[in-house]
Amino acid sequence: MRVGGIPMSWTEDMQKLKVVADKIAAGRDGKGMTSCLTKPIENTYYEKRTHTSAEHMTVLFEYVASTPIELREQIEQIWNVNGKSDMLDLASICMISAARCRPKQGEVGKRREVSQYVYEF
Amino acid sequence: MDRWLENVIAVSPDNCAIIEKSYESMFADKLWVHDLIRNELGKLGIADKLYVCEHHVSHAASAFYPSPFNEAAILTMDGVGEWATTTIGYGKNKEIEILEQISYPHSLGLLYSAFTFFCGFKVNFGEYKLMGLAPYGEPIYANLIKEKLIDIRDDGSFRLNLDYFSFTNKSVMTDEAFEKLFDTPRRLPEEQITRKYMDIAASIQVVTEEVVLGLARHARKITGCKNLVLAGGIALNCVANGRVLKDKVFENIWIQPAAGDAGGALGAALYATYHLSDIPRTVESTDSQRGTYLGPKYSVEEIEIFLKNNKYPYRVYEEKELYHQIARYLADNKVIGLLNGRMEFGPRALGGRSIIANPMSEEMQSKLNLKIKFRESFRPFAPAVLRERVADYFELDTDSPYMLLVAPVREEIRETNDTYGEKYTGDDQIDMLQVIKRKRSTIPAVTHVDYSARIQTVDSERNPYFYRIIKSFEKITGCGVVVNTSFNVRGEPIVCTPDDAYRCFMRTDMDVLVMENCVLLKEEQKPLENDESWRNTYELD
């Protein structure tokens, strides 16, 4: 069953995410997805890379975000350098969702052995 | 996460399905995968910095660094990485630069997967089945696909028409729009395959080849390189690879044998090695992939302990006698399971964990499919051929050690009375077995319906053990080719350990199991106890 288009089984965080995403979509007026770190080239569907704009997001980077707050900082930085400021409203929702959904200590690493060398996590 | 959120926004307000499908995996799994990696490395006593390598750069690195080239154009194509679905890059010595890319949702991999889904196969697993089905059909829908589904530019770049795909807003790849376009419902898994789906498979294969060829030509143009390296799941489409080779866009081609995401692990490790250390890159004249025999191995002693502990009857042969004995079994049309040396890294069995058989037998393809592998009868088998004799059997005279090139069987060895084509007009319910059993060449078990073959060349350097088996078979029969298929049954992973190999051997109609120097005959083994329900263990692929 749905209320206002949102399934009732959804968590509050999922509902918030949809509401904010829909609001951003309305503000974009039908404009499609825009990728990070690329710009279009005329008369072709190829895109060029724009690495210089995101020093933290080179092709190889040290992964340091280990808390929801650090994750939020990282994603905000990506959106800021790529001109996606309209998405910043999603940052808090993502941080809270990440914190609530994060596997508890001990849950990570639970695995089902398929064979001696194959595990399903 | 950025791409996922952009996707959620782009399909607003119809984004409920995509949120419901992916919310948990995004916030509970994917965002915390580094925890998992740190935990697992911690168990191995490794606690250090964690570096992340971009998805398509990992593919590019997996293709370039192990290749035999100091300089090459790099083409990667798959479903999707972070954003990129296709990249064209340039590699020189230790450096890799991505020059151009095509971004999600415009993806050749997702296009091919949509057709995989529509034809009733499992997405991300059944793509090779679609490729195997294609030669049974005619590409009569190729123009329709290009008119409605994908806009291909002269420079090889492309854009999908999202009106016909549902991967951006639903949990399926295609829906009613696709069914209406092809005037048929989606085939459900295990349903009979009619001519219509064969024609659809043939059509998307032709379009895929056209796109890959266009991308390769553009890569040549913008890099000026004479060498090309390939990776990403689309690079496992060996028919498309064969087209690029035949078209001579590049003088030399090297394809990462673990071209799918598994190979990304190798690429990421190599990229980090060359960028975080002073280790020089050494280019080897063949390549640095070591035949892709990078997995675990078991010594004769370990195998004998396993066999003795379990009281399985076996005999041990001296090396020289062993090859001759295996060749005799093959000549007698016995089907042999082979566990030799290190396991292959990548989806193809190349003689390390293989089932091998006589390619001259007319019955062998259907026997292997139905009684050994328990898989669909239409699926072809690959030849493993002595490198020095590849041109005697196939229209190919180059190395193909990783079974990633398709080429036609030479006309001289084709059967002249083949009536290929007659059965394919207007008959919706083709008797597949009748078509398969028709003898098309002197090596019918490895000759597909369109006379093509997915070739593995075997040389004495990469796998001397496998080479000597084929050489001995050639001495007895004059034939320098054997059937080579992965040592597993449908839906199961390829065997790794002697225990895996023994169980697979006992559960099928295989006649002989060879593990290094140890030979086991089926007729001497006792049936496995309490093993009736083993086929329920794995979901069908």
**pLDDT tens-digit series, residues B99-129:** 999 999 999 999 999 999 999 999 988 999 9
- A93 — contact with chain B (CB < 8 Å)? no
**So what's the ipTM on this one?**
0.85
Residue B388 pLDDT: 97
B481: part of which helix (H) or strand (E)? strand B481-486
A4 vs B128, residue with greater confidence:
B128
Whole-number Å distance between alpha carbons of B149 and B160: 6
Mean pLDDT calculated for residue range A53-67:
65
Structure tokens at B35: 């925890």
Residues of B in Cβ contact (< 8 Å) with A39? none
Looking at CA atoms only, how far is residue B402 from chain A in angstroms?
23
Contacts of A23 (CB under 8 A, 6+ apart): A89
Which residues of chain B are modeled with pLDDT < 70? 416-437, 532-541
Q: Is A1 helix (H, G, I), strand (E, B) or coil?
A: coil
Mean pLDDT calculated for residue range A17-43:
84
Percent of chain A with pLDDT over 90: 27
Looking at CA atoms only, how far is residue A7 from chain B in angstroms?
8
Whole-number Å distance between alpha carbons of B330 and A56: 58
Structure tokens at A12: 């509050």
Contacts of B22 (CB under 8 A, 6+ apart): B4
Residue B528 pLDDT: 86
The predicted-structure confidence for B4-20, as pLDDT tens digits, reads as follows: 999 999 888 888 888 98
In this predicted structure, the answer to whether residue A13 has a pLDDT above a threshold of 70 is: yes
Whole-number Å distance between alpha carbons of B533 and B417: 44
Among residues B385, B363, B448, B382, the alpha carbon closest in space to that of B414 is found at B448
Residue B491 pLDDT: 78
Q: E strands within B206-324? A: 227-231, 252-255, 315-316
Structure tokens at B523: 């007729």
Residue B540 pLDDT: 61
Structure tokens at B405: 């090139």
Whole-number Å distance between alpha carbons of A75 and B389: 56
B512 vs A57, residue with greater confidence:
B512
- A59 — contact with chain B (CB < 8 Å)? yes
Q: Is A27 left (phi over 0), alpha (psi -120 to 50) or beta?
A: alpha
Residues within 8 A of B (CB atoms), A 4-23 only: 5-7, 10, 14, 17-18, 21-22
Residues of A in Cβ contact (< 8 Å) with B222? none
Residues of B in Cβ contact (< 8 Å) with A21? 5, 8-9, 12, 15
Among residues B509, B505, B507, the alpha carbon closest in space to that of B534 is found at B507
Residues of A in Cβ contact (< 8 Å) with B59? none
Q: Is B270 helix (H, G, I), strand (E, B) or coil?
A: helix
User: What are the φ/ψ torsions at residue B423 (nearest 5 degrees)?
Assistant: -75, -5
Query: Of the segments A27-36, A37-46, A67-76, B67-76, which one has the largest average pLDDT value?
Result: B67-76
- A69 — contact with chain B (CB < 8 Å)? no
Count of CB atoms situated within 10 Å of the CB of B256: 33
Q: Residue B39: which of A38, A65, A108 has the nearest Cβ?
A: A108
Across the interface, do A17 and B500 touch by the CB < 8 Å criterion?
no
CB-based contacts of B526-534 (< 8 A; 24+ apart in sequence): B528/B503, B531/B503, B531/B506, B531/B507, B534/B503, B534/B507
Residue B535 pLDDT: 67
Residues of B in Cβ contact (< 8 Å) with A62? 49-52
